[in-house]
Chains A and B, each alone.
Chain A
Amino acid sequence: MKLELRGITKRYGSLVANDRIDLTVEPGQIHGLLGENGAGKTTLMNVLYGLTQPDEGEILIDGQAAALHSPKDAIGVGIGMVHQHFMLVPVFTVAENVTLGDERARVFGLLDRRRMRREVRELSEAYGLEVDPDAYVEDLPVGVQQRVEIVKALVRQAGVLILDEPTSVLTPGETEELFTIMRQLKGGGRSIIFISHKLREVQAIADTITVIRRGRVVGNRSAAASDAELAELMVGRSVALRVSKPPANPGDVVLEVRDLAVEHHHGQFAADRVSFEVRSGEILGIAGVQGNGQTELAEALLGLRPATSGTVRLGGRDITGDPPRERLRAGIGYIPEDRQEDGLIAPFSVAENMILDVYDRPPYARGIALNLDAIRSTAISRTAEFDVRTTSIDTPVGTLSGGNQQKVILAREIGRELKVLVASQPTRGLDVGSIEFVHRRIIAQRDRGVAVLIISAELDEIYELADRIAVMYEGRITGIRPPTVPVAELGLLMSGGMTDADGAGGAPGGGPAGHGRPAAGEDDRRATRGGET
């Protein structure tokens, strides 16, 4: 099936989300759609899937114009979509989920279960999906749930499969498996549109790559295109893909965590006997697939969640029982994972958000009276220093782009004197330019002697920033490694396939040995990127 988009334009008010986009997906091709967050990829796919109607342009299926007014129309012409967030019912079996919305009944309205199970099994075997039709979705790992979504699309005779950021929830190993499946689907004559903002993955799997920036197609490239070229297309200027980082100069232990346990709900531990330490002037990266207790760990460090047992020491002082405010005052900076919900107050102005945790201290308050002049002057100097793009410091922070919102948080947290910086997914959802900015600032903090803890699900980010890498799996630290550790080993640690004997010890790392070149297996992948800086 050949899919063509011609001159697709979609406007929201004065914002042009898609501007005359042309895209041709040949049969049996994996087409990479690359662009930063907010570039218009998702809008385009929503148009293609019938969720929104374009203002101009047409969609051709095998040369025939198709009118797609709803997902049903899109499914009807053979377009299947795997959303970033799965649309599955957890308490249903795989077969039931696949049937959902496409129930084929026999006489008396009885569901044809047997046939659905057969179809799931057949497809699963044909493409090596390894999905058990009778398993309950809630019991399946994320990677398999994603395959259920793929099966759902295939059962509906999808000729073109849209995968929206499919790797964001996967471990490196699961990503490899997904790529294998994608190649098999391609071999079966199906086309795939692979949406991502991760250069490396698009390069690895796509046959052709279309880059979108600010709603426009800015280039079509083959998979052979270099990182640098693609990144430049994406961002519109040349970017340092790898922020240069001088060797760490670790000092004394500042943050010391011993056997910290955080209860999730009765008896279940979100974080289980976690131990590590962070020295001043070094960055400890905590890698791991999302949902393995990293969020809870960060919240426990800040006192937002009670620790069931264990201790947290800051500069030798036990702060385990302290409330969040005292920890912040003691010099912990915190960049929360969910910046919209936890980091910012959307209707508040940029200026107000910049003093959210120091509003009641001098110079911002005298007694209980706010000092509006001090708040304003701080906000003005910080917006300039952190390059926050906003019309004014009185603009509600919720109207800023994600990158600028994160800069506001960064400006607030780094703006005061820190001993420890805890940054949870600090660049999630940000564009390449903002990521570079955030990384530079974090490294600058390290070089000023702050102990930095980075929690990230993005391995690239961990490799880029960390002086030591700890891996979390099911609430436990499965290993701590120097940054030279090969990605395969991290993958094993991340999936529980490998655990250090005591679950926390591991190589102390962090020493001078930790700053050499990446290990051989990683070398070729990163060499090109290293050359960029």
Chain B
Amino acid sequence: MSEQAAAGEQAAAGEQAAAGEQAAAGEQAAAGEQAAAGPRPSLGRLLIESVIEGHTAVVTALAFIAAIVVGGLLIAFTDPAVLHAWGNFLSAPGNAIAQAFDSASSAYLAMFEGSVVNPHTVAALFQQKSLSVAFRDGAVSAVFDPLSETAVNATPLILAGLSVAIAFRAGLFNIGAQSQYIGGALVCTWLGFGVSLPPVIHVVVCVLGAIIGGAVIGWIPGVLKAATGAHEVIVTIMLNYVMAYFLAWILGTSAMQRPGRTDLISPIIAGDAHLPLLLGSHLRVNASFLIALACAIGVWWLLTRSSIGFEFRSVGASPSAARNAGMNVPRTWMLVFLVAGALAGLASTAVVQGTDFSLNFQSYGTFGIDAITVALLGRARPLGVVLAALLFGALHAGGILMQAVTSTPLTITTVIQSVVVLFVAAPPLIRGIFRLHKATARGADQSLAKGWNG
């Protein structure tokens, strides 16, 4: 919590500074100075972006705080002990408030311990005789376990979030990360148990299979939109159902069902198809986390440094101008969906080859929908997506411990996620609550007016 607040303050300070510089730059422009032939790291772009970024960072941080408060109230007032204390509010008001605060804070403390660091494990580490013993007995691992769990939970969200984000940037809504995830997972799992290959190659083949499986499913809405104009939202939503039921069906056939089982679950994939663990056998964090980070960098490069990304962004910002500039808009749509599908398919490797090692009929969880949330929260920018996915990963990892320790239902994390997005989607509301409105409105007005004048 305190970290969040500090981050918020920092961002706010950054914004002020940026706004000040912006005003200065605007004045230069008004003075008629021509900065067109200015130095290479151009001031204007940096300023505008930092204002925009700073802006959203502040809003996002405040939204998170607001969500924490709302979540806290919910935790407190669904706790029977708190409700009982509030029943006697008139006789003991102090007790009622203290009870509510205790309930919420202990839940959040558990969440923090489950997602970032647990003080008990740190204390236990210092009671070890020597460092080597600490390593051997897993005391060191225990310290990093919460962070490892956060990363594990965040990994598929990063990849699926990038899938949705890249589509957003090209002006498309990829609601179908779930179907693409299933497509990838099916191919990945089948290659995992059905084929025998040498160790390293097996991993690579499974990962490539997941990419292709996702891309094929992603290609369908793309090609339908390009050829017939069918709206991608409808097609992707429908494909989610198609793929979910296809998964349930194929897991019941001899092709995919685990021998000797009657429930819908696939065989376990071969050991040499597992993704390598990063921090020893006690921690689940694996290579897929690095793959996800690499993909984030790759998507950033693609969007900002490549001609393909230029095309994506052009088509996203103005299809008509893109057409007039000779770009093939339908072809771009297909390409975007291929890439988005590949990323969502790749997300499945984090689960299939990283943690679960098999596939059941609900393996896709809520990744598809969470990916949309992550992309929105991350403003469809790769770094933003990574941060948002880490936040959600932390909420999920912490939520499990919270449920175990305080018997607060896990679904409260879903509430917090939803409220964050709600507040992020409604920045005016957040500005209103935190009285940012006047200052930012004036700032925006000014910069725009300056722009028109120049």
Contacts and interface: CB of A to CB of B under 8 A. Distances in A.
A325 B321 contact: no
A392 B35 CA distance: 5
21 contacts: A13-B448, A14-B449, A14-B453, A15-B450, A325-B327, A336-B324, A341-B320, A342-B324, A347-B317, A348-B314, A360-B310, A369-B306, A370-B305, A372-B305, A380-B37, A384-B36, A384-B37, A389-B454, A394-B48, A400-B451, A400-B454
B321 A341 contact: yes
Nearest to B443: A13
Interface in A76-98: none
B323 interface: yes
Interface stretch (B39-47, B75-83, B352-360): B39-47
Interface string B433-454: 0000000001001101111111
Contact of B34 (A356, A365, A389): A389
B307 A359 contact: yes
Contact of A324 (B25, B313, B326): B326
B328 A392 contact: no
Interface in B1-58: 25-26, 28-30, 34-38, 40, 42-45, 48
B141 to A, nearest CB: 42
A12 interface: yes
Given A304-B324, A391-B28, A392-B35, 9 more contacts: A13-B445, A341-B320, A342-B321, A360-B310, A391-B25, A394-B48, A395-B45, A399-B454, A400-B454
Contacts of A329: 326
A82 B357 CA distance: 72
Interface in A389-434: 389-396, 399-401
B321 A344 contact: yes
Which of B43, B325, B446 has most chain A Cβ within 10 Å?
Answer: B325
A370 B308 CA distance: 9
Interface in A341-398: 341-349, 352, 356-357, 359-360, 364-365, 368-370, 372, 376, 380, 383-384, 388-396
Which of B45, B322, B326 has most chain A Cβ within 10 Å?
Answer: B326
User: Nearest 7 pairs between A and B by C-beta?
Assistant: A399-B451, A394-B45, A325-B326, A392-B44, A13-B449, A13-B445, A15-B449
B318 interface: yes
Given A342-B321, A359-B307, A370-B305, A380 B36 contact: yes
A284 interface: no
B307 A392 contact: no
A328 interface: yes
Which of A15, A326, A347, A396 has most chain B Cβ within 10 Å?
Answer: A15
Say what secondary structure dominates the interface of chain B.
Answer: helix
A349 B453 contact: no
Contact of A399 (B28, B38, B326, B452): B452
Which of B36, B320, B448 has most chain A Cβ within 10 Å?
Answer: B36
Contacts of A323: 326, 328
A401 B313 CA distance: 23
Interface of A: 12-15, 302, 304, 323-329, 334, 336, 341-349, 352, 356-357, 359-360, 364-365, 368-370, 372, 376, 380, 383-384, 388-396, 399-401
A14 B326 contact: no
Given A13-B449, A390-B36, A390-B454, A304 B321 contact: no
B311 interface: yes
Contacts of A346: 317-318
Nearest to A332: B326
Contacts of A326: 326
A46 B313 CA distance: 37
Contacts of B318: 341, 344-346
A326 B328 CA distance: 11
A14 B321 contact: no
Contact of B36 (A304, A345, A357, A392): A392
A343 B321 contact: yes
Contacts of B449: 12-15
Nearest to A391: B29
A388 B310 contact: no
B311 A15 contact: no
Nearest to B313: A348
B446 A14 contact: yes
A370 B311 CA distance: 11
A327 B314 CA distance: 19
Nearest to A376: B40
Nearest to B33: A391
Contacts of A396: 48, 451
Contact of A328 (B26, B36, B48, B326): B326
